[in-house]
Amino acid sequence: MNTIDPAERYEKNADRPAPPRRRRQSPQLGAVARQVAQQYRRDTMSPVMVSGAMRLIEFAALVVAGLQIYVGHVGLETHLYWQYPLIIVGVAATAVIVMEFSDCYQMPALRNPLSRAGRILIAWTGTFALLTVALFFLKISSQFSRFWLGTWYISGLVLIVFLRLAAAHLIRRWARNGRIERRAVIVGGGKNAETLIRSIEQQPYNDIRICGIFDDRDDRRSPPVVAGYPKLGNVEELIEFARIARIDMMIVSLPITAEARVLAMLRKLWVLPIDIRLSAHSNHLRFRPRAYSYIGSVPMLDIFDRPINDWDSVAKRAFDIVFSLIGILLFSPVMLVTAIAIKLDSKGPVVFKQKRHGFNNEEIEVYKFRSMYVEQCDPTARKAVVKDDPRVTRVGRFIRRTSIDELPQFFNALFGSLSLVGPRPHAVAAEAHNRFFDEVVDGYFARHRVKPGVTGWAQINGWRGEVDTEEKIRKRTEYDLYYIENWSLLFDLKILLLTPVRLLNTENAY
């Protein structure tokens, strides 16, 4: 049996024109739907983030007030110099926790602080009562300044009231200009959708902004306008609309009995990085209360949750910044030597930029050390690199095999287009066996519900290098989806620490 050297195979096919390839086209949004999608601002804040920030601000304000009074009145020369700060931090934390359990950080409470004024007073007073009782029973109350205690109580209460009034003013202004809101679309029209919309609009201090309705049925079965909101398209068009408008929530207004229609919609929509809820307001079937989430008093069944959202995203971003800076400092000598070697080995730029799919299926530009001759670089990655590929330079073979070519992506992670850990970003036109990846794997774009990463769960499990079979892209996607569903900071740390060890296996890297 004759064998053909990969380099010879490439040379024979290099001049042969590739057959035209066209990606499956998604339905185009109508002019009205596109105009609606593009009108929304991008610098929005989640209500969860706002209430979380309020907790931190109030905690910090109470601590600073207590410390200032302690330093100004008691002084640092006291023998209790370490006990005062400890008590101050403990009291501030206890007050915030008590107010949390009293629902004082819910958005209705922040929008209208007077509605929870009694609870705030009881929480702050009760915290000081606990402190006084604790000091009494520990027989150390005489050692602490009563002036400090009374002054901190009064100033802390004034601070909380001032902060609440300022926050209410800001939140109401942000709500008016669209800075703080949860954008939602309704899937399914008719009477059910109208009843749902009326129920949501009746909720006081509602942060839901309904952007429109999408339904596969024609205007005879589903009216073009429901409760004042236009029908903007069908479910296929909804995917593009949700990405452009940065939708937060999708509410399916179909009865649970319409199982086939609901499942058909979910198969198309689960690839989006949004919360998907099934409206339960008009269903006669009732579950246990814990099975529901609520918009005001409107019950919803949770179908899919947006992964790595709100404070999880803050923690992951902090993780990326810290470890990206560490990586840049640690590998800067390697990157400097690599840049010099590339420059000496072949003409052209040191860094190669390539368009790849990022979060929410948006295109991003990823940095790599150039490993090919500049005139043979393939920004589209349509022709996968094979073993002994003549396009790869001498230095390129080494840095590809050792993954040194990926080191510039620390800067991608630092600037925010990539995460350190996540599904590896694939080139926009990448193919396996002359088929685009999304044509091979059903739900392939669900990988893009989170930011792509410099390294990932699939890579440390051996699925790296050339994607020359459909099975390889299926396995990569399978591992990527597992990572998304099981994400945690500890999982990220595990992947990051295992990456250098697993890169020693260079079998599929060339």
Identify the H or E element spanning 299. Answer: strand 298-304
- Cβ neighbours of 30 (radius 10 Å): 13
CA dist 510 and 507 (Å) reads: 8
Residues 187/156, Cβ–Cβ less than 8 Å = no
CA dist 38 and 241 (Å) reads: 9
CA dist 53 and 167 (Å) reads: 11
Provide the Cα torsion 277, 280, 285, 288; round to 10°: 70
Residues 398/404, Cβ–Cβ less than 8 Å = yes
Write down the pLDDT at residue 37.
85
List b or e across 125-155, with b for residues whose CB sees 16 or more CB atoms inside 10 angstroms.
eebbeebeeebeeeeeeeebbeebbebbbeb
- CA 97 remoteness from chain centre: 26
Identify the H or E element spanning 500. Answer: helix 489-502
Q: Which residues contact 156 (CB under 8 A, 6 or more apart)?
A: 62, 65, 66, 95, 124
Which segments of the chain have a pLDDT < 70?
1-27, 74-82, 141, 205, 256-257, 281-291, 378-386, 429-435, 465-466, 468, 504-510
pLDDT tens figures, 419-474: 999 999 887 766 666 667 777 777 788 888 999 999 999 988 888 766 767 888 88
Write down the pLDDT at residue 452.
93
pLDDT tens figures, 82-107: 677 888 899 999 999 999 999 899 88
The DSSP line for 260-298 is: HHHHHHHHHHTTSSSEEEEE-TT-S----GGGEEEETTE
The DSSP line for 102-127 is: TTTTSHHHHH-GGGGHHHHHHHHHHH
Q: For the CA atoms of the chain, what is the radius of gyration?
A: 29
Using DSSP's 3-state secondary structure scheme, residue 367 falls into: strand
Identify the H or E element spanning 315. Answer: helix 311-345
Using DSSP's 3-state secondary structure scheme, residue 172 falls into: helix
CA dist 296 and 200 (Å) reads: 7
Q: Which residues contact 252 (CB under 8 A, 6 or more apart)?
A: 187, 188, 262, 265, 266, 276, 277, 278, 279, 303
CA dist 242 and 271 (Å) reads: 11
Write down the pLDDT at residue 337.
95
Amino acid at 307: P
The neighbouring-strand residues paired with 230 are 225
**Nearest of 207, 205, 180 to residue 109 by alpha carbon:** 205
CA dist 65 and 159 (Å) reads: 9
Write down the pLDDT at residue 19.
47
Write down the pLDDT at residue 222.
80
Proportion of the chain above pLDDT 90, given as a percent: 29
Q: Which residues contact 463 (CB under 8 A, 6 or more apart)?
A: 472, 475, 476, 479
CA dist 37 and 76 (Å) reads: 58
Using DSSP's 3-state secondary structure scheme, residue 324 falls into: helix
CA dist 361 and 452 (Å) reads: 10
Write down the pLDDT at residue 12.
45
**Nearest of 8, 4, 3, 16 to residue 390 by alpha carbon:** 8
Using DSSP's 3-state secondary structure scheme, residue 495 falls into: helix
Using DSSP's 3-state secondary structure scheme, residue 472 falls into: helix
CA dist 159 and 300 (Å) reads: 37
Residues 342/372, Cβ–Cβ less than 8 Å = no
The neighbouring-strand residues paired with 249 are 184, 275
